[in-house]
Chain A
């Protein structure tokens, strides 16, 4: 347990530079009234957990565990609706059936990576994201958009940063929270506490369990913090444990 906790500590390196402090009014109200917290994670491979050594190592699975630990009195449910390779538009099409019908109080939407690869056009992407966010928010659900993953050489995709900026801008316009995945992963990689394979599975063979686990821990920190008003445990306590 102590060993696991020490391993989890490194996930919080750089949490001051890339903070995740979402406002979650719908989830807070739902938790207060019903004692329930339901989250739907919709996305492509990152959400589906591709590259994880087992199904329970995907980020939504770890998030469920971590939230149950942090919110012992709540009835927590995390539904994984990740489908590898899907575009934002594919996900928009299943937003009603896969997401809203689950009646969650939080939706975490992980997308845009396939759009950045295939460069579908910023106007088009903005429209798709707007429609998705509006749909979820109109159902009275808190929306969290997940930023793209950090890449060792993002210059391969010249539009990568533009698409990231677009995601942030669209989320901001609608008051949706953004989970700063890119910044976090960059900080993890700079912290030298991870091997590159642990984070991005660069050689395509290594499992990226550590990366998913850290994502889940940081999301859980942010959500639990917003719901309880507490700071994450030991958030900055790791500076001395180097």
Chain B
């Protein structure tokens, strides 16, 4: 397709939501989604054991965004491919019903995780006599007022540390139909509304309540921007819009990633403009994860542009065993994420009990990653024996399946 046509169809899509002329609707599952999500899940697992040496090499040290941003973006993309596709084929009622079922599953997973984590921490504290485990997970309310904490947990008004992504995901999926229909009309318009809601929320300090903290760790009013972006990308894929060959945009994206790398790894202000001192400090000391930040958003946009332009979307990614393994992990994201969260908290305890010695640190990371990959392999096998007739293709990633994400 000539470049001019590519650019024209992209802008027709962005402003009017139109599909390019003659493009067939895309139903096949994009291998990149599974591979990147698998990677993000493993990164989140490692990062949920702060202070471990491997976490020092995770992406958030070298750029503004991290596993969480990728996870939410991919949630938007795959929700569009699954539920957006379903809404197109079977209508809003069927789509909404499937969404509701999915939200219920997420909720049950979240509550189960909450209870398991409480049990793990309670067992650890009574056996090791280290009160800081309670502190690290902010789980004291459970022990001081169990009844109130339970009710608050069930209503998502109390989220201990590390148990904050699924509540965000639940809210975002509930918003999916509204955002999806807005994107159908005009992706650019939907993005504009989304950005305005985000900025208005920052300006007025709006967040959902978290009774034992300042608010939700992932403010849904902010993070809906990344989700909306994911829906737009998913919708573009659905309508067969391709990323045009625009080398200047590639260069700009790479330039931004390099800038982010320098800003994160430099000590102090590398450009020497005094006006930017505070900004560099804020980026290096801890970026604003709760309310998102322009730097995070631009970083995600740059990364996804490059992934769309340069990562092969099909089987090429799965030729390598690493790609296949990550795809298997990414396809079972809920199970892997939930298990990873519990494993990471157990891992935190093991790390402290072994005094953060290097050997146990590496071992905990390695065993955890292997368990998560093993879980993915097991679930893939389990699906293959339980799905109707056991006929699963050699590359299940190519199925446009609803339940396999």
Name the contact of B285 in the complex, choosing from A48, A89, A114, A158 (C-beta under 8 A).
Answer: A89
Chain A residues with CB below 8 A from B356, complex form: 119, 156-158
Cα A118 to Cα B214 with chains together (Å): 20
Would A202 and B131 be within 8 Å (CB), given that A50-B141, A85-B213, A87-B286 are in contact? yes
Do the beta carbons of A204 and B134 come within 8 Å of each other? yes
Would A202 and B355 be within 8 Å (CB), given that A52-B144, A113-B135 are in contact? no
Do the beta carbons of B281 and A156 come within 8 Å of each other? no
Chain A residues with CB below 8 A from B136, complex form: 85, 114, 117-118
Do the beta carbons of B135 and A151 come within 8 Å of each other? no
Would A204 and B285 be within 8 Å (CB), given that A45-B140, A156-B353, A157-B352 are in contact? no
Chain B residues with CB below 8 A from A127, complex form: 281, 284-285
Interface size on B, residues (CB 8 A): 35
Would A203 and B140 be within 8 Å (CB), given that A113-B135, A117-B132, A156-B352 are in contact? no
Cα A158 to Cα B351 with chains together (Å): 11
Do the beta carbons of A204 and B132 come within 8 Å of each other? no
Chain A residues with CB below 8 A from B352, complex form: 117, 156-157
Do the beta carbons of A117 and B50 come within 8 Å of each other? yes
Interface residues of A in 77-96 (CB under 8 A from B): 83-87, 89-90, 92-94
Do the beta carbons of B355 and A155 come within 8 Å of each other? yes
For residue B60, CB closer than 8 A to chain A, the reply is no
B contact patch SS: helix
Cα A87 to Cα B138 with chains together (Å): 12
For residue A124, CB closer than 8 A to chain B, the reply is yes
Interface digits, A25-36 against B, CB 8 Å rule (1 contact, 0 not)?
000000000000
Interface digits, A184-207 against B, CB 8 Å rule (1 contact, 0 not)?
000000000000100011111101
Most buried by B among A84, A92, A94, A119: A84
Interface digits, A17-56 against B, CB 8 Å rule (1 contact, 0 not)?
0000000000000000000000000001100101111000
Cα A157 to Cα B351 with chains together (Å): 9
Name the contact of B131 in the complex, choosing from A90, A157, A204 (C-beta under 8 A).
Answer: A204
Residue on A nearest B291 in the bound complex, by CB:
A93
Cα A148 to Cα B367 with chains together (Å): 33
Do the beta carbons of A119 and B50 come within 8 Å of each other? yes
Chain B residues with CB below 8 A from A89, complex form: 285-286
Do the beta carbons of A202 and B140 come within 8 Å of each other? no
Interface digits, B201-214 against A, CB 8 Å rule (1 contact, 0 not)?
00000000000111
Cα A66 to Cα B121 with chains together (Å): 35
Cα A203 to Cα B214 with chains together (Å): 27
Cα A113 to Cα B122 with chains together (Å): 20
Sample 10 A-B pairs with CB under 8 A, ordered by A number: A50-B134, A84-B141, A85-B137, A86-B214, A90-B214, A118-B136, A156-B130, A157-B352, A202-B131, A203-B125
In the complex, the 8 A-B pairs of residues with the closest C-beta atoms, listed nearest first: A118-B50, A85-B138, A50-B140, A119-B51, A204-B125, A89-B286, A202-B129, A156-B352
